[in-house]
Structure 1
Amino acid sequence: MAILLTMFSVSYPTQLMALPADLAQESVALSKMLSDGYAKFYPEHSQVVEIPGYPSLGFKSGVAVLMSMGGWAGGNTNTQYVAVYGINEDLRLGKAPNKYRLISFKRVGGKGDRLFTTLRHENQALVLSGFGYGDSDGLCCPSLPINLILTIGDRGDLRESLNSASQ
């Protein structure tokens, strides 16, 4: 029942978009730095949303990516990260060599911790919706609805607050 609940509860906000190839490349580069040598990035389980600019961080527009990685130590574990990228502007001196610039990233979930199924941007924050683990939940099937709110600090740090999805 919990598996079906998890599968049917996935709703994709309208601002959700597919991971563009150049952003997938940036995410692969980040995942290689985070990996233990075994864990792999799963772009098919990733989501991206557009975010407004943060002048204090030097970008006028950007994207946030909910990344999934799995296979840590050769096993069947998984981890989720949120990465925030600024979009480089073309300057008078020429075009930027890369479209995206990593601003910040944070581990937000994984097997045995919590599992997020959607990412959206609202009210100047990133909102992740998903499930946490109850006392009797198996590792496969978290069942407690949760929302994680991430705000981007003036130095690019991602600050979190956890709310019940029912609030």
Structure 2
Amino acid sequence: MSSLDAVMMKSYSPKTLAVRLQALGFLTALQLGLQLSLQLNNAHAADSKAVNAKALTQGQTKPRPDPAIQKEIDRLILQFGDGLAEPYSERPAIVVYGQIFDESKKDAVVIFNLEGFGGGNHHAEYIAFFAAVPSGNIAGKISRPYRLVAVTKLGERGWRSFDFNTALIKDRTVMLSGVEMGPKDGLCCPSVAIKRIFYVDEADHIVETDTPPSAASRMRYRP
């Protein structure tokens, strides 16, 4: 039996009945609001889970980096920052996993940004290549899961900017799409579409090109 039915079955004066029904209406509306909010939250969680699963299946990025690589990202931010610059919250770091070095398919490429250098509005983007390291314990020293091989500036205000979500590992290279400054563009707003390919050579240098490199020119890495 609903609360409304229970109220209607009892005998009340018109004034008391009106007060009871008014209170009941308020509570019912509140309950419906809470139920609707819960349903929306559940639906949002389900949508987020589906999006994350699709990203892992169709792409190579993880929406949230695993703890091991997140520690490496934190180290990079400390090294490249000036104490004032911070990661841009609306463009979080992207981690792409795949085969870059040797035989491991769990190498990681991190693309991140920092803004606010010197307290101003200058921002910069970076790309870092990490080699997956087999777990080891020698004389009580435990190896880290990833080793930084190379890192470089990718873009900055007044130069160019990349869409992190386009990052794709293919043939031991990383492909990215973005925009660079045109002759009439303002410092804030590059508009010329570009596509670039990045890889690490034998000397641990990051090489940039706009055409796929030959197999012989790509990295043949040995730790």
Indicate the TM-score class for this superposition, using the shorter chain for normalisation: 0.7 to 0.9
Between Structure 1 and Structure 2, the one with more helix by share is 2
Aligned to 2:132: 87
Matched, 1:45 2:92: yes
Which has the bigger relative contact order, CA under 8 A and spacing at least 6? 1
Aligned to 1:3: none
Deviation at 1:144, TM superposition (A): 0.8
- What is the TM-score of this pair, normalised by structure 1? 0.78
Letter of the 2:133 counterpart:
N
User: Which digits, 9 at most, give the CA deviation of each residue in 1:74-95, with x for residues without a partner?
Assistant: 1111100000111221237588
Change over 3 Å in CA distance of 1:133–1:33 after alignment to 2 = same
Give the match's secondary structure for 1:45: coil
With 29-38 and 40-49 compared, the bigger mean Cα shift is at: 40-49
Deviation at 1:63, TM superposition (A): 0.5
Deviation at 1:97, TM superposition (A): 4.2
92, 96, 110: which one aligns with 2:156: 110
Aligned to 1:156: 204
Number of aligned positions between the proteins: 149
Contact 1:28–1:41 under 8 Å retained in 2 = no
66, 86, 92: which one aligns with 1:20: 66
Q: Percent identity?
A: 27
Contact 1:115–1:132 under 8 Å retained in 2 = yes
- What is the TM-score of this pair, normalised by structure 2? 0.60
Matched, 1:70 2:118: no
Structure 2: gaps of 5 or more residues: 1-54, 212-223
Deviation at 1:27, TM superposition (A): 1.1
Letter of the 1:24 counterpart:
Q
Give the match's secondary structure for 1:120: strand
